[in-house]
Amino acid sequence: MNKNKYLLMVSSIGVFILLAAAAVSENFLKDWHGIQNSAKTNEGPIDVRLRQIVNPNLKVTDRCVTCHVGMASGEQISTDLKVGAVHKPVVHNPTEIGCTVCHGGQGQATEKDDAHGNVHFWTEPMLPAKYAYASCGTCHTPLNVPNLPTLENARKTFERLDCYACHRLDGKGGTLRPGGNVTGMEGPDLSHIGLKGYNAEWYSAHLQRSQQETNGAWKTSFSEISEPDRAALKIFLDTQMGAPKLVEAKAQFNTLGCAGCHAVGNFGGDAGINLSLSGFKDPNQLNFTRVPGEHTLSNWIVQHFRSPASTVAGSQMPVLGLTDNQIDLLTLYTLSLRRRTLPDLYLPKDRVRAMRFGAREFANNGETIYTAVCSSCHGANGQGTRFPGLVANPSITNPDFLSLASDEFLIQTIRSGRPGRPMLPWGERENGFTLDEIRGLVAYIRQLGGNVQATPDTQPQIWAKGDTALGANLFTENCAGCHGKNGVGGDGPALGNKAFLTNVTDTFLVGTIGRGRQGTVMQGFANPSPIRKVLTQAEIESIIVYLRSLNAK
Amino acid sequence: MQAENYSALHEFWTNLRAIPSHVYRAMFRGGPPKTDRTRSSFIFGNVFLHLHSVRTHLWSLRWSTTMGLGIVTTAAFLITLVTGILLMFYYKPYPDIAYQSIKDIHFIVPTGRFMRNIHRWAANVMVVAVILHMARAFYTASYRKPREFNWFIGWGLLVTTLGLSFTGYLLPWDQLAYWAITIGANIAQSPREITDAMGITQWMDIGGLQREILLGSDKVGEEALIRFYLLHVMILPLTLAMLMAVHFWRIRKDGGLAKPKDADERVAEEAKEFYPVFTDSPAKTYHLAAVVKGKTSAVDSGPEHTVPSMPHLFYAELGVLMLTTLICIGLAFISDAPLKELANPLVPENPAKAPWYFLGLQEIVSFSAFMGGIGIPMLCVIGLGLIPFLDREKEGTGEWFGGPGGWKLVKWSMVVGFASSILVEAFAIKFGWLREWFPDIPQLIITFVNPGTVLTAIYAAFSIWAVRKYNSTRAGALALFTCFLCGFIVLTVIGTYFRGPNWDFFWSPSDWGGH
């Protein structure tokens, strides 16, 4: 019978030991206890207690400051303690909005791995410091961002015109200039001028002031500014939101024509996936089997840009041959595509404009529209592209093309697209291009093609005469190899496409078939050639009549 | 009339000093439990202890008799009760907020994580122990007259325990919880498979009704959460406590634990260590039962070969209680209770799995919902519940694997139970099932011809064979119960370890991909 007594004794001792161990680890062995014990302010040791930042509006309960004690309000840690560091000055007060809104991670956690979100089942790990600016995208939508060359030029203009003499921007310039007030002075800080808005008449006001003053920075640092420089400054100022890296990243996105295939927010193509929340992917749900490197979302995105199809099986996205710097910027931009439900109090203007009023996220000048949307298919210079396994995309800056294609033809093509082909109806989609934007785009295309204007055409749209049957034979013989049977398209454009035939003039077709497009495989059929048949004017017109008959079907 | 030199002040001072001993004596009226009589009064004078008989048969105290499984279950319940009440101080039953409160319990509530871990482990220990306890009661044939009703109560306790565990599963409001409950609710909806096939769902949607009663809505949401919470913290624990009271009471009223007929002789050696019963006053009858007529088992039998429950039974009970506590706390140290991502109705877990003890069901539900989720479980509950009324033999009561066939039959039943369930599952996994072979087959056939049905038929056939071979209903019961237990184990293991995304077969969870 004694064995029951021993059972009771042994298991009671065991329970007691385990409870004592639990009590010790609970009260003495937690990391944050150790950190707070070693942290001291000038007045002495700090209270060892849980610290947190709570913001019910943002649904934030951030206990990060339990370890990062220096970032809690009002405590200056004098000890040489890495986690005791003070937050560097930023726009938003961290003691008000908390830590996780910007940095990600798990605010409620009090242990390092959990708090930094590097654990299974936490969908939003911390953003790497390198991509920290991506966090602005949680609430903000940078608007009016041009392409990268334009932005670079605008920034250089701002520097060249010595605006830094008086104005501070992202912590540079103004009175921070070497020499202080000698050469610089205190003008308004322009870091967030793109969000706040500014007086459109600033230039005349500046000019007037500079003419009144007799010396000082007004005289030495400001003089008349040329029209193009002022345009560049406007572009620059409109994009200032205190996150230069993010704006640069978005400018990179707007340079490579990504929106031609991918939608972001309220606009974009539909060949690729919608990227609107692609910065919010759960790394635990991603497939890393063929991804080298660490299992983080940012690395996954980087590797994906390097080699899309080997990261996502079956991806149609071509290898773009990006440089490391470009990949970095694009990764930062992709990571910035994140969202948080915000109470109205915290909704920034830019997001309201983008979400509720459909504001264009990129600058709506012809150049930016071209680089942001068209360039991935039609090439940075409009020379056309060809990706393995995908339809070849025509050159649109070919002088032979531009001289035949009227502005109306180009505008109509951009507006209505080519149904059934990769070219989308960019003017007829939801939140599509306005007529003014398309006009600017056409002007930019002509500029890209060396300012070739269309030869004026006085003929009616349809004038060619000929025999449909003969045209059909000739088409099958000469054209179908590239343009496909019945003009359904192949390596060459689909000539049987209804939107094309409705829009195109006979003059355009006769000219193109006869003269060809130099620099492409399309040789002029009216030109003498040793390797192919030369077509007469009547034969060419018959082919056109045949093509027109396709539209009637 | 007071004595002459009486001093009230002195009296007060004496009383003041005597308070501790007076309070002690007022509390334990019988005095210290040092004689058999005071030991007895220690028990029947105590509201908490008087469910125990004052003397315990030595047979009952043998470790091999019960292995303490009933006490393990009770202890686990008490542990979940204490830790559960502590958790209730911080838990907030509302979607999303519930998840945040579990995070708070995990990260900042002092010892919160520890308590939650203990709660979770004690709950699992309880489920395992209640199943083993049932197996013990079955294999020692302890369900027989007069204990048939207590076997019933035991079934009620098993179902209530599973219900408690299942309702607790939803409360953390994470992905694991959300989708497990979604699966559970879909199993409740499975009668719709029948009504659909008969085309009467429109008028009589039993499955839909069951699901709606369970969830309070058409999906797992705030209504389901508050419902599960109420069931988990109030209705089911009260039910369980009440059933437990009846269960314990009946043990006593049914004559204590079941003993073999020759138990007295078999404990004779041990009994020599103890004083005979009639130590204090041999002339007196031991208790009132001696003059009571009736069927109570203690009637007509002397309390020989028994020892005072205080302290012998209490050492055993407290020992098991502390051992269970040790196991739960130890497990809580080793492994944290799971908490996945916040529940997201838009992102289904793949695979979404029910709690482990329902994975055997989920495995057969994957072939057809009605048979797997309702038909076969009902068959088990009703069939096994009726065992005491079907097996009314006497032979082998109180003996492990007692009765015709014995351990040899149980061994063969295990072979049949394991082999047939593994083979049927292997066949279904390798070659598919009816729908893959005959896509146009009527739904009713698919509903009823489930690997589970096939297994049930095999088990039934085997146990009929056992009944005939040994010419004993107990033999049939032994065969059937063993087979079902083995089938339950096999199906649960397959559902737990070998089923991955889309409920496809995988040799190891590491082959699942994705995560």
C-beta pairs of A219-225 under 8 Å, 24+ apart in sequence:
A220/A165, A220/A183, A221/A162, A221/A165, A221/A166, A221/A183, A222/A162, A222/A165, A225/A161
Cis link prior to A530 (omega < 30° from 0)? no
For residue B290, what pLDDT band results from cuts at 50, 70 and 90? very low
Which residues of A sit within 8 Å Cβ distance of B? Answer: 1, 3-5, 7-8, 11-12, 14-15, 18-19, 21-23, 26, 50, 61, 63, 106, 108-111, 114, 120-123, 282, 284-285, 287, 289
Do A473 and A531 belong to one domain?
yes
Arithmetic mean of pLDDT, B164-181: 91
For the domain that residue A497 is a member of, what is the CATH number?
Answer: 1.10.760.10
Beta strand ranges found along A170-217 (DSSP E)? 172-173
Contact between A1 and B330 using a beta-carbon 8 Å cutoff: no
Q: Which domain holds residue A438?
A: 366-448
Do A435 and A472 belong to one domain?
no
* Residue B279 confidence (pLDDT): 46
Render B187-249 in DSSP notation, one character per residue.
Answer: HHTTHHHHHHHHT-TTT--HHHHHHHHHHSSSSSSHHHHHHHHHIIIIIHHHHHHHHHHHHHH
Q: Say how far apart CA B495 and CA A450 lie, in whole Å.
A: 69
Q: Say how far apart CA B370 and CA A529 lie, in whole Å.
A: 77
Contact between B315 and A7 using a beta-carbon 8 Å cutoff: yes
Least confident interval from A80-84, A400-404, B60-64, B104-108 = A80-84
Q: What is the tally of structural domains in chain A?
A: 3
Q: What are phi and psi of B304, to 5 degrees?
A: -75, 160
Contact between B319 and A22 using a beta-carbon 8 Å cutoff: no
Q: At B410, is the secondary structure helix, strand, or coil?
A: helix
Residue A417 forms part of a structural domain? yes
Residue A28 forms part of a structural domain? no
Residue A378 forms part of a structural domain? yes
> Nearest-CA residue of chain A relative to B104?
A108
| Statement: the pTM of the whole predicted model exceeds 0.95 | no
B267 vs B88, more confident: B88
Contacts of B319 in chain A (CB under 8 A): 4-5, 7-8, 11
User: Taking 50 as the threshold, does the pLDDT of residue B210 lie above it?
Assistant: yes
Contact between B326 and A14 using a beta-carbon 8 Å cutoff: yes
> Nearest-CA residue of chain B relative to A295?
B515
CB A28 within 8 A of CB B343: no
Do A120 and A39 belong to one domain?
yes
Q: For residue A54, list its beta bridge partners.
A: A61
Q: Say how far apart CA B95 and CA B243 lie, in whole Å.
A: 32
* Residue B287 confidence (pLDDT): 53
Termini Cα distance of chain B:
89
CB B451 within 8 A of CB B360: no
**B110, B318, B339: residue with CB nearest A121:** B339
B272 vs A146, more confident: A146
Domains of chain B and CATH, by start: 57-280+308-349 (1.20.810.10), 358-515 (no CATH)
Contact between A18 and B333 using a beta-carbon 8 Å cutoff: yes
* Residue A175 confidence (pLDDT): 62
For residue B439, what pLDDT band results from cuts at 50, 70 and 90? confident
Do A379 and A427 belong to one domain?
yes
Beta strand ranges found along B350-498 (DSSP E)? none
User: Taking 60 as the threshold, does the pLDDT of residue B56 lie above it?
Assistant: yes
Least confident interval from A90-94, A176-180, B134-138, B344-348 = A176-180
Q: Say how far apart CA B174 and CA A538 lie, in whole Å.
A: 75
User: Taking 90 as the threshold, does the pLDDT of residue B1 lie above it?
Assistant: no
Least confident interval from B156-165, B264-273, B497-506 = B264-273
User: A126, A144, A164: which is the final residue of a domain?
Assistant: A126
Residue A102 forms part of a structural domain? yes
Q: For residue B307, list its beta bridge partners.
A: B56
Regions of chain A short of the pLDDT cut 50: 180
> Nearest-CA residue of chain B relative to A285?
B515
Contact between B108 and A19 using a beta-carbon 8 Å cutoff: no
| Residue of A5, A6, A11 to mutate when probing chain B, most B C-beta within 10 A | A11
* Residue B190 confidence (pLDDT): 84
Q: What is the DSSP letter of A455?
A: P
- What percentage of chain A's residues is helix, strand, coil (to nearest 5)? 50, 5, 45
Which residues of B sit within 8 Å Cβ distance of A? Answer: 61, 63, 100, 103-104, 107-108, 110-111, 114, 174-175, 270, 273, 307, 312, 315-316, 318-320, 322-323, 325-326, 329-330, 333, 339-341, 513-515
A vs B, Cβ pairs < 8 A, gives: 83
Between helices B473-497 and B112-139, what is the axis angle to 10°? 150
Residue A224 forms part of a structural domain? no
Amino acid code (one letter) for A39: A
**Average pLDDT for chain B:** 87
B291 vs B160, more confident: B160
CA distance B423 to chain A (A): 34
| Residue of A108, A112, A119 to mutate when probing chain B, most B C-beta within 10 A | A108
Do A441 and A516 belong to one domain?
no
| Residue of B341, B344, B512 to mutate when probing chain A, most A C-beta within 10 A | B341
* ipTM associated with this complex: 0.86
Residue A460 forms part of a structural domain? no
Do A429 and A390 belong to one domain?
yes
Residue A64 forms part of a structural domain? yes
Do A494 and A429 belong to one domain?
no
C-beta pairs of B425-433 under 8 Å, 24+ apart in sequence:
B425/B363, B425/B451, B425/B490, B425/B491, B425/B494, B427/B451, B428/B367, B429/B505, B433/B367
Contacts of B175 in chain A (CB under 8 A): 121
Arithmetic mean of pLDDT, B285-304: 53
> Nearest-CA residue of chain A relative to B112?
A26
> Nearest-CA residue of chain B relative to A24?
B111
Do A38 and A120 belong to one domain?
yes
* Residue B282 confidence (pLDDT): 44
Contact between B110 and A26 using a beta-carbon 8 Å cutoff: yes
For residue B303, what pLDDT band results from cuts at 50, 70 and 90? low
Contact between B326 and A109 using a beta-carbon 8 Å cutoff: no
The token pair at A379 is: 């090439």
Helices and strands, number each (H, E), in chain A: 25, 8
Arithmetic mean of pLDDT, B342-365: 87
pLDDT more than 70, % of chain B? 93
Residue A337 forms part of a structural domain? no
Do A531 and A472 belong to one domain?
yes
CB B421 within 8 A of CB B487: yes
Q: Say how far apart CA A281 and CA A509 lie, in whole Å.
A: 49
For residue B53, what pLDDT band results from cuts at 50, 70 and 90? confident
Nearest to A249 by CA among A88, A140, A161, A339: A140
Three-state SS annotation for B421-436: HHHHHHHHHHHCCHHH
Between helices B236-253 and B69-88, what is the axis angle to 10°? 150
Judging by beta carbons within 10 Å of its beta carbon (0-12, 13-18, 19+), is residue A383 exposed, middle or buried?
A: middle
Q: At B328, is the secondary structure helix, strand, or coil?
A: helix
Q: For residues A537, A543, A545 and A548, what is the CA-based torsion angle, rounded to 10 degrees?
A: -140
| Residue of B56, B108, B324 to mutate when probing chain A, most A C-beta within 10 A | B108
| Residue of A2, A4, A30, A33 to mutate when probing chain B, most B C-beta within 10 A | A4
Arithmetic mean of pLDDT, B367-390: 86
Contact between B319 and A5 using a beta-carbon 8 Å cutoff: yes
Contacts of A289 in chain B (CB under 8 A): 513
CA distance A26 to chain B (A): 6
Render B260-286 in DSSP notation, one character per residue.
Answer: -TTHHHHTHHHHTTS--TT-S-TTS-S
CB B366 within 8 A of CB B446: no
**A5, A18, A26: residue with CB nearest B330:** A18
Do A533 and A488 belong to one domain?
yes
